Amino acid sequence: MINIFKEFLNLFFKDLFQEKGSVRLGLYGSPNGGKTTLANKICKDWIGEEMGRTSKIAHETRQVQVKEQITIKRDTKELTFSLVDTPGIATKIDYEEFIKAGLPEAEAKTRAKEATKGVIDAIKWLDDMDCVIVVLDATKDPYTQVNITIIGNLDARKIPVLLVANKMDLKKADLKHVQSAFPQYDVIGISAKTGDGVEALYEKLFELRSKALKRKKEKR
Amino acid sequence: MKGRTMLTLQFVPYAEIMRLPEKERIDRLLGLAKENKIVLLEGKLRAEEEAELIKRTMEQITSSFKGVEISHVSLQQKEDVVFFRKVRSLLVNLLLGERQGFTIIGPASVVKEIKRDPDKIQLLTEDIKRKK
All structural domains of chain B with their residue ranges: 8-131
Q: Do B63 and A145 touch (CB under 8 A)?
A: no
Q: Do B69 and A91 touch (CB under 8 A)?
A: yes
Q: Residue B91 pLDDT more than 80?
A: no
Domain A22-219 has CATH 3.30.2350.10: no
Provide, as residue numbers in chain A, all residues whose Cβ is less than 8 Å from the Cβ of B51. Answer: 123, 126, 149, 153
Q: Tell which residue, A128, A156, A158, A164, has the closest CA to residue A29.
A: A164
Residue A216's pLDDT band (cuts 50, 70, 90): confident
Contacts of B124 (CB under 8 A, 6+ apart): B111, B112, B113, B114, B115
Specify the pLDDT at position A15: 45
Q: Inform me whether the C-beta atom of residue B57 falls under 8 Å from chain A C-beta atoms.
A: yes
Specify the pLDDT at position B7: 81
Q: What is the CATH number of domain B8-131?
A: 3.30.950
Q: Choose the mutation target among A30, A89, A91 for the interface with B, i.e. most B CBs under 10 Å.
A: A91
Could you give the percent of chain B with pLDDT greater than 70?
Answer: 67
Chain B residue with the nearest C-alpha to that of A115: B58
- Per-residue pLDDT, averaged over A112-134, amounts to 97
The H-or-E segment that residue B12 falls in is strand B8-12
- Per-residue pLDDT, averaged over A2-31, amounts to 65
Question: How far apart are the CA of B47 and the nearest CA of chain A, in angstroms?
Answer: 5
Q: Inform me whether the C-beta atom of residue B54 falls under 8 Å from chain A C-beta atoms.
A: yes
Provide, as residue numbers in chain A, all residues whose Cβ is less than 8 Å from the Cβ of B63. Answer: 95, 109
Q: Inform me whether the C-beta atom of residue B70 falls under 8 Å from chain A C-beta atoms.
A: yes
DSSP of chain A: -HHHHHHHHHHHHHHHHHHH--EEEEEE-STTSSHHHHHHHHHHHHHSS------SSS----S-EEEEEEEEEETTEEEEEEEEE-PPP-SB--HHHHHHTT--HHHHHHHHHHHHHHHHHHHHHGGG-SEEEEEEETTS-S--HHHHHHHHHHHHTT--EEEEEE-TTSTT--HHHHHHHSTTS-EEE--TTT-TTHHHHHHHHHHHHHHHHHHHHHH-
Chain B residue with the nearest C-alpha to that of A124: B55
Chain A residue with the nearest C-alpha to that of B73: A145
Q: How far apart are CA B29 and CA B104, in angstroms?
A: 10
Question: How far apart are the CA of A180 and the nearest CA of chain B, in angstroms?
Answer: 14
Q: What is the pTM of this model?
A: 0.85
What count of CB pairs under 8 Å joins A to B? 66
Question: How far apart are the CA of B5 and the nearest CA of chain A, in angstroms?
Answer: 21
Q: Residue B98 pLDDT more than 70?
A: no
Q: Tens of pLDDT along B25-59? A: 999 999 999 999 999 999 989 999 999 999 999 99
Specify the pLDDT at position B31: 95
Q: Residue B76 pLDDT more than 80?
A: no
Other Cβ atoms within 10 Å of B23 Cβ, number: 10
Q: How far is CA A190 from CA A57, A78, A134, A179, B77, in A?
A: 21, 22, 12, 13, 35
Q: How far apart are CA B111 and CA A133, in angstroms?
A: 30
Question: How far apart are the CA of A69 and the nearest CA of chain B, in angstroms?
Answer: 29
Chain B residue with the nearest C-alpha to that of A143: B116
Q: Do B47 and A152 touch (CB under 8 A)?
A: yes
The H-or-E segment that residue B122 falls in is strand B121-125
